[in-house]
Each structure stands twice: as C-alpha cells, then as structure tokens.
C-alpha cells in the first residue's frame, strides 16, 4: 500500500490445491536491501512453509522442503541468511519440540542453531550478531545466543536495561541497521507496542488505540 494507506493490495494470492481455501501469509519481514519479503504460509494440510517474494520479478519462491517446513523467518544483517523455526527434527510419534535453523540463501545449505527443542520465539540482533530466544517452557525465559560460536552469552533484554520485565515481552524485532527495536509487551495488564532507541537508550511507547486490531509489526 501507499504511505497514506491507499492502494492496498495483496502481494500474491494462493489457494490450497484442490480446495477453495486461501493460503494465509504470516510474519512478513523485509530483506535488508528492501527488495524482498520473507514470510510463512500455514494451513491445516501441510507444515508451515517459508516463502520469498521478489519485488523486481514479482515472483514467490518456496525455500524449504515442503515435508519439513519452518516458520517465523528472520534475516541476517547482510541478507545472506534466513533463520527460521522448525519441528523437522521432532517428527517421530509422540515427540515434541522445535529449534532454530539457518538457511544460506545462495547455496540452500541449512545449519541447526539450537538443539534443546525449547524455542518459542526469537529474533536476530544486528548490533551483536546474536539471537535473542524465548524458551518454550514456563516461565518462558529469554536468553541470548552467539550466532558464530552458538554459546549462550549475556541476556540481551537485561543488558539493554529496558524498563520492562522480560516475562512481559511477547514479541520484538530489530531494524536492519540495529538502531531501533519494536517491542510488543504487557504494561499494567494492557498489551502495548513500544520502540526502543538503541543509540539513546530510550523506550518510546506507541499510542495505538486499544480498539485497533494490530497484527505482527515489522520495522525497517
């Protein structure tokens, strides 16, 4: 859509094969160069799939094995890698879990990042080349993982000195250059969106009306 909200239109429309169901795209995220959008599609018939929309060619490409799938893709700072969440190593009967994997876009090579199966949510921090990960077990603690060594390092949410309880943070996403982070969190029993200014160490609350239904926000 245009900056003023006009000319809204879908990038692509898909129907599930042999049905009238429209495929629902979720968690769109811009590539660092602004030329592509990664997103995932999920429905009741197949595992979630990560796709790449290219503005120049107006094409959509599936990036993963459709039998294994993945979702909630995030870009590396240089745009060469996409990290995603997947249950691909937990497909035996009665087995549950999901981990983070990295896709090297140019080669299609996939690297497993976590191995405990306890990944609930995560994002990439371009300032420190780390992943901030929320464990999928109560009390849903956050921890930070070095991308190169895969070692656990200082918890990013604690090191930033945000005036928030980490357990109140639902979702967050950095701008490509690491200047700002959008945070979806609980505040006084109400869900709110705020923007963290990394350079000035300041949290700015967005005044979004409570009756406005806002989905996942991606910030560039």
Q: At CB < 8 A and 24+ separation, what contacts does 131-137 make?
A: 131/83, 131/100, 132/156, 132/157, 132/172, 133/100, 134/169, 136/98
Q: Are residues 108 and 143 in the same domain?
A: no
Q: Are residues 90 and 138 in the same domain?
A: no
Q: Are residues 184 and 220 in the same domain?
A: yes
pTM for the structure as a whole: 0.79
**Which token pair is 99?**
């981990």
pLDDT at 214 over 60: no
Residue 183 phi, psi (nearest 5): -130, 130
Which pLDDT belongs to residue 219? 53
The pLDDT tens digits for 108-129 are 999 999 999 999 889 888 888 8
Band (220; pLDDT cuts 50, 70, 90): low
Please state, in angstroms and rounded to a whole number, the distance separating the CA atoms of residues 103 and 208: 35
**Which token pair is 108?**
């299609």
Which pLDDT belongs to residue 112? 94
The pLDDT tens digits for 32-79 are 898 999 998 877 667 888 999 998 998 888 899 988 889 999 999 899
Q: Are residues 11 and 102 in the same domain?
A: yes
Tell me the β-bridge partners of 39. Answer: 51
Band (208; pLDDT cuts 50, 70, 90): low
Domain with 108, as residue range(s), is 1-116
Tell me the β-bridge partners of 49. Answer: 41
Which pLDDT belongs to residue 50? 92
Q: Are residues 29 and 99 in the same domain?
A: yes
Q: Are residues 81 and 4 in the same domain?
A: yes
pLDDT at 88 over 70: yes
Q: Are residues 167 and 70 in the same domain?
A: no
Count of structural domains within the chain: 2
- We report the CATH number of the domain holding residue 14 as 2.120.10.30
Q: Are residues 133 and 26 in the same domain?
A: no
Q: Are residues 60 and 129 in the same domain?
A: no
Residue whose entry in the numeric block shows the structure tokens 């309880």: 165
Q: Are residues 109 and 3 in the same domain?
A: yes
Q: Mapping DSSP to helix (H, G, I), strand (E, B) and coil, where does residue 208 land?
A: coil
Q: Are residues 60 and 110 in the same domain?
A: yes
Band (212; pLDDT cuts 50, 70, 90): very low
Band (174; pLDDT cuts 50, 70, 90): confident
């Amino acid at each position: 859509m245009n900056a003023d909200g006009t000319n809204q239109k879908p990038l692509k429309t898909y129907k599930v094969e042999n049905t009238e169901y429209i495929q629902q795209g979720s968690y769109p995220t811009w590539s660092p160069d602004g030329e592509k959008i990664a997103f995932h599609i999920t429905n009741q018939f197949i595992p979630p799939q990560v796709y790449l929309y290219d503005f120049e060619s107006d094409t959509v490409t599936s990036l993963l094995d459709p039998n294994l799938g993945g979702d909630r893709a995030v870009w590396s700072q240089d745009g060469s890698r996409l990290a995603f969440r997947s249950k691909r190593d937990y497909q035996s009967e009665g087995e549950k879990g999901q981990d983070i994997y990295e896709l090297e876009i140019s080669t299609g090579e996939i690297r497993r990042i976590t191995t405990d199966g306890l990944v609930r949510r995560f994002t990439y921090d371009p300032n420190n080349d780390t992943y901030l990960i929320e464990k999928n077990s109560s009390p849903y603690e956050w921890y930070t993982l070095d991308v190169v060594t895969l070692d656990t390092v200082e918890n990013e949410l604690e090191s930033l000195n945000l005036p928030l309880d980490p357990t109140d943070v639902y979702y967050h996403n950095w701008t490509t250059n690491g200047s700002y982070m959008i945070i979806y969190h609980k505040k006084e029993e109400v869900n709110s969106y705020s923007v963290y200014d990394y350079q000035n160490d300041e949290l700015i609350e967005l005044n979004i009306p409570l009756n406005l239904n806002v989905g996942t926000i991606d910030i560039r």
